[in-house]
């Protein structure tokens, strides 16, 4: 069955050649093809040579985007006692203890990131079925289970993202806004690439990087030259 594209998408697809673009050229083309009537995100879709059904081939980690995400991140914190006040003073949008857990159970979801201290995780565990499908469940690997609330809140509000490879070994992650300068998007994409390399699963064999495509939210996919991206110096900012 042939996929049908809108007139807008057909016009954009004509601008994208069937080749691997140098990273900065790919990001300039991403910006050119971001023609939707709303501020589009810049997305990366990376196929890795891993099989996440094996525990030693799973990838789940965080990246701090040097140029930020372009989004306002609403942070909620579940803690106890003085840690609740500490979270509020550190800039948490929502902070509480058992009462916040109850509100979430009743449907409260007005936050983008949920941080919890280790001592309340047994209580937070009951929220797994609600938070899991929304990728909001706190986890040590994601940096969202910690006693350093001030540091965690600051990082996530400044541009720290949690991501993971899906069951097919593909990482889908937003790394900025299409309205960012191409040079800023490149700084963020390079940080993402270095994080993925640094966290290569121990069970990954053979060629690790298979393909990397970038696109705006409503734009066409653009293939990026993986070797050129990995060979770049990280001081491109």
In this prediction, what percent of the chain has a pLDDT beyond 70? Answer: 97
128 in a structural domain: yes
Q: What secondary structure does DSSP assign to 94-117, as a single string?
A: EEESHHHHHHHHTT----SEEEE-
175 in a structural domain: yes
DSSP 8-state secondary structure symbol assigned to residue 21: B
Residue 179 structural domain: 18-69+160-231
Pairing of strands 94-96, 75-78: parallel
End-of-domain residue from the set 124, 157, 190: 157
pLDDT computed for residue 2 by the predictor: 53
25 in a structural domain: yes
180 in a structural domain: yes
Q: Is there a single domain that holds both residue 145 and residue 131?
A: yes
Q: Is there a single domain that holds both residue 166 and residue 198?
A: yes
Q: CA–CA distance from 172 to each of 44, 62, 107, 134, 175 (Å)?
A: 6, 13, 27, 15, 10
d(CA 84, CA 89): 9
Average pLDDT, the chain: 93
**Which tens digit of pLDDT belongs to each residue from 78-126?**
999 999 999 999 999 999 999 999 999 999 999 999 999 999 999 999 9
Q: Is there a single domain that holds both residue 80 and residue 142?
A: yes
**Which tens digit of pLDDT belongs to each residue from 37-68?**
999 999 999 999 999 999 999 999 999 999 99
Q: Is there a single domain that holds both residue 97 and residue 200?
A: no
pLDDT at 237 over 60: no
97 in a structural domain: yes
Q: Is there a single domain that holds both residue 83 and residue 95?
A: yes
Q: Check which CATH number belongs to the domain holding 99 and give it.
A: 3.40.50.790
CB 125 within 8 A of CB 84: no
In this prediction, what percent of the chain has a pLDDT beyond 90? Answer: 85
- What total number of domains does the chain contain? 2
Q: Is there a single domain that holds both residue 165 and residue 215?
A: yes
Handedness of CA 115, 121, 123, 129 (dihedral sign): positive
Q: Check which CATH number belongs to the domain holding 27 and give it.
A: 3.30.190.20
8 in a structural domain: no
pLDDT computed for residue 235 by the predictor: 59
pLDDT computed for residue 211 by the predictor: 97
Q: Single out the residue of 22, 70, 80, 103 nearest to residue 174, CA to CA.
A: 70
End-of-domain residue from the set 126, 157, 188: 157
pTM for this structure? 0.79
Q: Is there a single domain that holds both residue 22 and residue 58?
A: yes
pLDDT computed for residue 4 by the predictor: 76
End-of-domain residue from the set 157, 181, 202: 157
d(CA 237, CA 221): 25
2 in a structural domain: no
Q: Is there a single domain that holds both residue 140 and residue 164?
A: no
Q: Is there a single domain that holds both residue 203 and residue 103?
A: no
Measured in degrees and rounded to the nearest 5, phi and psi for residue 161 equal -125, 145
Calculate mean pLDDT across residues 158-176: 93
Q: Is there a single domain that holds both residue 91 and residue 44?
A: no
Q: Is there a single domain that holds both residue 146 and residue 170?
A: no
187 band by pLDDT with thresholds 50, 70 and 90: very high
Q: Is there a single domain that holds both residue 204 and residue 164?
A: yes
Calculate mean pLDDT across residues 211-219: 96
């Amino acid at each position: 069955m042939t996929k049908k594209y809108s007139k807008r998408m057909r016009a954009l697809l004509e601008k994208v050649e069937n080749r691997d673009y140098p990273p900065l050229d790919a990001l300039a083309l991403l910006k050119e093809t971001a023609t939707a009537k709303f501020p589009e995100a810049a997305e990366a879709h990376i196929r890795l040579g891993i099989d996440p059904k094996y525990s030693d081939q799973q990838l789940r980690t965080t990246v701090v985007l040097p140029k930020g995400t372009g989004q306002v991140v609403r942070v909620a914190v579940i803690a106890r006692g003085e840690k609740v006040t500490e979270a509020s003073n550190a800039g948490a949008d929502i902070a509480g203890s058992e009462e916040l857990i109850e509100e979430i159970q009743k449907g409260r979801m007005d936050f983008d990131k949920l941080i919890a201290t280790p001592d309340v995780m047994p209580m937070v565990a009951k929220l797994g079925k609600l938070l899991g499908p929304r990728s909001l469940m706190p986890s040590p690997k994601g940096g969202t289970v910690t006693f350093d609330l001030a540091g965690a809140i600051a990082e996530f509000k400044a541009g720290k993202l949690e991501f993971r490879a899906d069951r097919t070994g593909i990482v889908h992650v937003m790394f900025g806004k299409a309205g960012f300068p191409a040079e800023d998007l490149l700084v963020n994409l390079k940080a993402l690439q270095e994080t993925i390399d640094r966290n290569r699963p121990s069970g990954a064999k053979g060629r690790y990087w298979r393909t990397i495509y970038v696109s705006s939210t409503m734009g066409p996919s653009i293939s990026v030259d993986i070797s050129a991206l990995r060979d770049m110096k990280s001081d491109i900012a």
